[in-house]
A and B are shown apart, each in its own frame.
Chain A
Amino acid sequence: MAKQKTILFACGTGVATSTAVNSTVTEAMKARGLTFNAMQCKATEVASLAESADLIVSTTPISASVTVPVIKGLAFLTGIGKDKALDDIEAELRK
């Protein structure tokens, strides 16, 4: 079995929207039979933590210098494009 992947959830404060997105994604992935390690941080901490993650899901813009794949998390707040974002996350976790 492949090593468990790590998703870094980021938002402006590291406590509000990243928490909501983390909980939504964790439940949705569990329903798809997938688990992962979750980390949360402030947008300003992403650059220093990105290396320890396989994927970043962020509700705020992330510096283009980050090389880890980034999925926009706004869909989980607005509901618009949520299924597509979940499919993208599933695809990254199954890589």
Chain B
Amino acid sequence: MTRTLMSHIDPRAIALGVEAGTSEEVIRLLAGKLEALGCVKPSYADAVVRREATMPTGLPLGRSENVAIPHTDPEHVLRPGIALGVLSSPVDFANMEDPDEAVPVGVVFLLAINDKDKQIDMLQEIMDTIQSEEALVASRTP
């Protein structure tokens, strides 16, 4: 993975080989890590799960394992952060553009965003990483 993105991710917010049955399980696991680091309020996990149900974040990349970028409103965020979850086998997220369609996801970036003007670089680095299959594969062994 690109060095710049990894500089935004606290090693304590990375979970590898995650065994999860649902998207909610992954979100709650990673949200717990961001909460422990003081990035988000206790209300954050529920808020992300609720938002995912109506406005999902699965990104279809045309691969067997795709990416999801769950997040929620700034009011649940204390300071910016990213948690990274790499799953041992994919779980379904709904497609951001077409919520009726399921996207099998193997890599999850849980985002804590509270000031869009200050977090453009972080968001751009995530997008660059997602768009580079090589970088994404490398995220399995950060």
Contacts and interface: CB of A to CB of B under 8 A. Distances in A.
Interface of A: 12-20, 23-24, 40, 43, 59-61, 72, 74, 76-80
A60 B73 contact: no
7 contacts: A13-B51, A13-B74, A17-B123, A20-B123, A60-B96, A77-B59, A80-B62
Interface string B91-112: 0000011110000000000010
A60 B114 CA distance: 20
Nearest to A73: B97
Given A40-B116, A77-B130, A78-B131, A16 B71 contact: yes
A18 B71 CA distance: 13
A61 B99 CA distance: 9
Contacts, number: 72
The B interface is mostly helix, strand or loop, or mixed, namely loop
Nearest to B60: A78
Interface residues of B, number: 29
